[in-house]
């Protein structure tokens, strides 16, 4: 009741914020504010309308892997949220989460030299630098750039959580939307993320009808779920010197992500006994004091489970001594599309990235 009253009181501020953003978007839509399209390579934007985690990183990883399977050479460009540097930066092995941001550093660790990973607050300048420095590129994937209107992407992919869909939300501060629901009209595909694998056809049809109140009628609405892999040792920790924790064992969970609920639910459903959950805000920069407190919760024989994004931050040089004796494993996440979602997304992208000729 108190929450609903507070939301009601904040609605006038939300309307004001939404109006300002609507004017900004109209200026871009009419061409009065300049947006840049790149004829050199297709640019794919992946983003959301809502503040907080909607699963962008694993969906970006799916997209990069799909492009590689088509014989393409993609690059990743992000703002690099949470980094301590500014300007354009092309990630190298000497970087860290502090210099490029935790998500780009995770992506660099996942794809290595095969996929250039760069960060830049100015996406236009960032794409131009990438094209100049890596002339063999055939695609650029923009991570979290849905509101970055200065770039006109070739394909605009909008993500929204099944449990927190944009069409049930409000603009900040009454809700969590970065802009009004009408922003979905810019999407070329909408992906409903973090769905239960057995989401029924009737439930999908209901969600599609709600999405199409705001998205264009011809835009495909797709559904995806998470697949969780077995624990992976985090380098620089004691995990490499012990066996992978088995289902049924007691563990400590460490998260610094926006929505840790699905991971916690997976671990419990899988049979792990989570004795303690150290939960921090999204992109939280861990400190040696916090790691020491975590170690105090980890009893002999137990290990620490975390996310791949959190693992990227745990590998900061400043934390090396703190985590060295902790057995830390991350749980890898991959995206799986439901029903014919993968085929429909491949059909949309295939016109820009045809299969290479055989023979």
Residue 359 has pLDDT above 70, yes or no: no
* Per-residue pLDDT tens digits for 172-220: 999 999 999 999 999 999 999 999 999 999 999 999 999 999 999 999 9
Q: Which CATH architecture has domain 10-72+138-227+336-350?
A: 3-Layer(aba) Sandwich (3.40)
* Per-residue pLDDT tens digits for 87-110: 999 999 999 999 999 999 999 999
Q: How confident is the model at residue 60 (pLDDT cuts 50, 70, 90)?
A: very high
What pLDDT does 356 receive? Answer: 66
Residue of 239 and 210 predicted with greater confidence = 210
What pLDDT does 224 receive? Answer: 98
CB 306 within 8 A of CB 253: yes
What mean pLDDT comes out for the span 283-296?
A: 94
Q: How far apart are CA 309 and CA 113, in angstroms?
A: 19
Instruction: Judge whether 10-72+138-227+336-350 and 230-331 match in fold.
Output: yes
What pLDDT does 308 receive? Answer: 94
Q: How confident is the model at residue 309 (pLDDT cuts 50, 70, 90)?
A: very high
* Per-residue pLDDT tens digits for 247-283: 888 999 999 998 899 999 999 999 999 999 999 999 8
Domain boundaries, the chain: 10-72+138-227+336-350, 230-331
Residue 3 has pLDDT above 60, yes or no: no
Return the CATH number of 230-331, one of 2.60.40, 2.60.120, 1.10.150, 3.40.50: 3.40.50
Q: How confident is the model at residue 2 (pLDDT cuts 50, 70, 90)?
A: low
Residue 7 has pLDDT above 80, yes or no: no
The three-state DSSP-derived secondary structure of the chain is CHHHHHHHHHHHHHHHHHHHHHHHHHHHHCCCCCCECCCCCCEEEEEECECCCCCHHHHHHHHHHHHHHCCCCEEEEECCCCCCCCCCEECCCCCCHHHHCHHHHHHHHHHHHHCCEEECCCHHHHHHHHHHHCCCCCEEEEECCCCCCCECCCEEEEEEECCCCHHHCCECCCCCECCCHHHHHHCCEEEEECCCCCCCHHHHHHHHHHHCCCCCCCCCEEEEEEEECCCEECCCCHHHHCCCCCCCCEEEEEECCCCCHHHHHHHHHHCCEEEEEEECCCCCCCCHHHHHHHHHHCCCCCEEEEEHHHHHHHCCHHHHHHHCCCCEEEECEEEEECCCHHHHHHHHHHCCCCCCCCC
Residue 8 has pLDDT above 50, yes or no: yes
Q: How many Cβ atoms from other residues are within 10 Å of residue 262's Cβ?
A: 19
Give bridge partners of residue 337 from the DSSP assignment: 224
* Per-residue pLDDT tens digits for 137-178: 999 999 999 999 999 999 999 999 999 999 999 999 999 999
């Amino acid at each position: 009741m108190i929450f609903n009253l507070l939301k009601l009181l904040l609605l006038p501020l939300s309307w004001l914020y939404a109006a300002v953003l609507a004017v900004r978007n109209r200026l871009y839509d009419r061409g009065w504010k300049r947006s840049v399209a790149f004829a050199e390579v297709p640019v794919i934007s992946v983003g959301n309308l809502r503040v907080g985690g909607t699963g962008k990183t694993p969906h970006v990883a799916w997209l990069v892997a799909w492009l590689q399977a088509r014989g393409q050479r993609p690059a990743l460009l992000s703002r690099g949220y949470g980094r301590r540097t500014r300007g354009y930066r092309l990630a190298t092995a000497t970087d860290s989460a502090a210099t490029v941001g935790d998500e780009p550093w995770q992506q660099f660790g996942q794809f290595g030299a095969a996929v250039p990973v760069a960060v830049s607050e100015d996406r236009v300048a960032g794409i131009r630098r990438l094209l100049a420095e890596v002339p063999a590129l055939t695609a650029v994937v923009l991570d979290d750039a849905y509101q970055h209107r200065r770039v006109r992407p070739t394909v605009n992919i909008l993500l929204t959580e099944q449990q927190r869909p944009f069409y049930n939300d409000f603009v900040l501060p009454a809700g969590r939307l970065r802009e009004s629901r009408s922003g979905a009209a810019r999407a070329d595909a909408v992906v409903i993320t973090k769905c239960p694998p057995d989401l029924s056809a009737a439930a999908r049809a209901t969600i599609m009808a709600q999405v199409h109140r705001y998205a264009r009628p011809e835009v495909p609405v797709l559904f995806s779920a998470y697949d969780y892999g077995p624990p992976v040792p985090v380098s620089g920790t004691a995990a490499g010197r012990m066996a992978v924790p088995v289902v049924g064992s007691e563990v400590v969970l460490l998260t610094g992500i926006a929505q840790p609920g699905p991971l916690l639910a997976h671990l419990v459903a899988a049979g792990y006994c989570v004795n303690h959950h150290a939960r921090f805000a999204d992109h939280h920069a861990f400190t040696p004091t916090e790691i020491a407190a975590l170690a105090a919760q980890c009893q002999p024989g137990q290990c620490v489970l975390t996310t791949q994004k959190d693992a990227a931050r745990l590998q900061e040089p400043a934390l090396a001594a703190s985590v060295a004796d902790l057995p830390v494993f991350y749980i890898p996440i991959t995206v799986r599309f439901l029903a014919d979602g993968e085929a429909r997304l491949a059909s949309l992208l295939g016109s820009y990235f045809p299969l290479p000729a055989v023979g």
